[in-house]
Structure formats: C-alpha cells, structure tokens
Amino acid sequence: MGTKRWGHGILTTRVAGGVLAAVLAGGVLAGGCTPSEPAPAPPAPTTAVRLTVTATLAPGLQQPWSIATLPDGTALVSERATATVQLIRDGQATAVGKVSGVVPGGEGGLLGLAVAPTFARDHYLYAYYTGANDNRVVRMTYRDGRLGPQQVLLTGIAKAGNHDGGRIKFGPDGYLYVGTGDALHPESAQDRRSLNGKILRITAEGKPAPGNPFGTAVYSYGHRNVQGLAWDAAGRLWASEFGPDVNDELNLIQPGGNYGWPIVTGAPGRPGLIDALVVWPSTADASPSGLVIVDGVAYLAALRGERLWAVALDGTKPAQPREFFRGQFGRLRDVVAAPQATGHGRDLWILTNHGGDDEIVVAGLR
C-alpha cells in the first residue's frame, strides 16, 4: 500500500485562541466536516528530538497489537489473531500462553494489554479482547512465565469487523482507562448509555471509577475509534483516534467531554464539542494507533501512514508534528518507552504490524 505526503489537505494544530493551519499544497478538505478558516502558516517545527534506530527485537511476531512492559525489564506482547501473549526477554519472543475466549475477525481479537501498577504484589495482567458476542476487559495473573485463569471485569462493548477500539492503560490515578470504538454504529458514540465510542474509566475490579462525570464507566464520548492513550507530566490524558476518510486526531481529554463523532471530525470549532488539538486530514499520512509521551513529546505509531509521528507538547499547545522512519518498517501499531530496567529508558520500542514476521524496533532518543 502506498502512502501520500501531506499535500492533500490541511495539517492543523489547535492552540489557545484559534487554529494554526499550514496549507501544504492545493486542495480542499473533502468529506467530513468543514475546518476552520486557515490562519497564517505556523513557525517551523519545534520538536528538537532526534531518533536513531539502534536494534530490532523479537523477529517473527504474528500480527502483534500491544506492548506492556514489566518491572523486571521484560515485556509482554499480544498477538491479535493467535490470541497468544509473547514474553520479550533478551531480544527474543517466547509464548507464555493463549487468552481463552478470543474470537478474532476483522480488526478484533486479542488487543490491548496493561500491567497493573500493583503488579509486584499481585501479578495482575489486564487484557481487552473480542469474544463471541462482545468486546470485554479481563484480568489474569502472569507469574513464572505462565498466564493464570481470567476474571471477566467488563462486558457489553459491542463488536464489529471494524472499530473495536482496544487500547487499555492504567492512569496516574491508578484507574484503568479503556478506549473503545463505535463498532460501525456511529450513533452509539453520542449515546452516553452505550460503552462504544468512548473512553471508559474503571477500577481494577471493573467498576465505574469514583468521580466519573456521569456516574457510569463513561469518561468521555463522541469518539470514533480510540487507539492510543497516554498521560503527560502534568497528568493530562491524551488520546489518538482514527478519522473516517479524513481527519485523524490527537485529542486532549476532558472528563465528560464530547469529541464530536459522528456530528463532526477534526477541529471545526462547533460550540459544545471539543476540537482535536492535532488533525491529520489525510488518513494516508497517519491512522494513528499506539501513543506514548516521553519528555513532553507525544509519539504516535501510524498504521496506514507507516511512520512514527512526534508532537512536542508545550502544555496544551502542540507544535507541528514531525515524522520519522516513513516507509522504513511498514505499518506501526504501538509505541512505548523501553523498560527502565533495561538501562535504556530513553529508548522507544515501536511495534510493527504488517501481518506476519513482525518485530520491535528500538529507537534511541538522542
């Protein structure tokens, strides 16, 4: 699959007081919503980061989806279609078990993994997967290279061939955040009774977290297909999201916020709806999946875009995105900070996802 450069629309970053829009080449945004009027071109990118590939790890992964690092410097990787959890140790992958009940199909299967902040005490591993009737969140133990029996925590997230969401991460508040998709029913994203098209916030036992804005598991809504979750140093939650044929997004999440889908996409400035802070009008450039924030820079793994995007975050004012590794490693599914115990905590681990014989690319932050 080929990729396109930016020249098919407008790349925007939303900042306080308005939208900065860089008209990179001729063309008017087709489909979706109408963007705000272009402003003068922004200054040159301020992302002063340099990334250098230093190694590749774990060759032979099959359709990997998520990386969860462990306190001992190893990591676990989910394989979407095989439902296998792979242990990454000393650069090699070893299967530690299959998650029962997974029914892969389309974009569904074994998706997100998350390690509990209490892992050193309880050895809990959390997973999001597509089952026979729904998408669900479960937990199990991981100890001595083996997966224990699973406990179902949250059910009833509608499944479909596409838009199954799947990213799960523990926040700095100790609660589990769950990104879901609209399961091809866009109207569900605006229905606060539905779990679809949402970011959910639950306790480690699967209950709605205290302080949630609606008294349910719903934390924010109006999402099409949330793919990445990460927190900055100030504890603010950011999320990456697939657009339709236009307007992939990086969003700053507010509790109770309505992010517009399917009413709008991108950053049209519609009253009552929250604009994306970064918009990629052409999904050929992005289709952003996994997300991590390191030293004030958000890194997004791009699937269709086949590159890593870096967005410097000056508080809530993102700079123009920069791209790295375009076309070098194919589709990129996830990105995490390398396990601290490896001694390379300033490295990124980037998960490729072209369908077979995938690997982890190690990129050093210099």
Q: What is the mean pLDDT of each successive set of 10 residues along the chain, which is 366 residues long?
A: 30 39 29 34 52 95 98 96 97 98 97 97 98 98 97 98 98 98 98 98 98 98 98 98 97 98 98 98 97 97 98 96 97 94 72 92 91
Q: Whole-model pTM?
A: 0.88
CA atoms within 13 A of residue 357's CA, in its CB half-sphere: 2
Runs of H (alpha helix) within the chain = 119-122
What pLDDT, on the 0 to 100 scale, is given for residue 29? 29
Is the four-CA dihedral 256, 257, 259, 260 of positive or negative sign?
Answer: positive
What H or E segment, with its residue span, contains residue 96?
Answer: strand 92-98
Q: What is the CATH number that goes with domain 42-365?
A: 2.120.10.30
Q: What does the alpha-carbon distance between residue 38 and residue 249 come to, in Å, rounded to a whole number?
A: 18
In whole angstroms, give the CA distance from residue 230 to residue 177: 10
Count Cβ atoms below 10 Å from residue 40 Cβ, excluding itself: 9
The whole-number pLDDT of residue 40 equals 34
pLDDT at residue 77 in the model: 98
Identity of residue 208: P
Output phi, psi for 187, to 5 deg.
-65, -25
CA distance linking residue 363 with residue 66, whole number of Å = 17
Around 95, how many Cα atoms within 13 Å sit in the side-chain half-sphere?
11
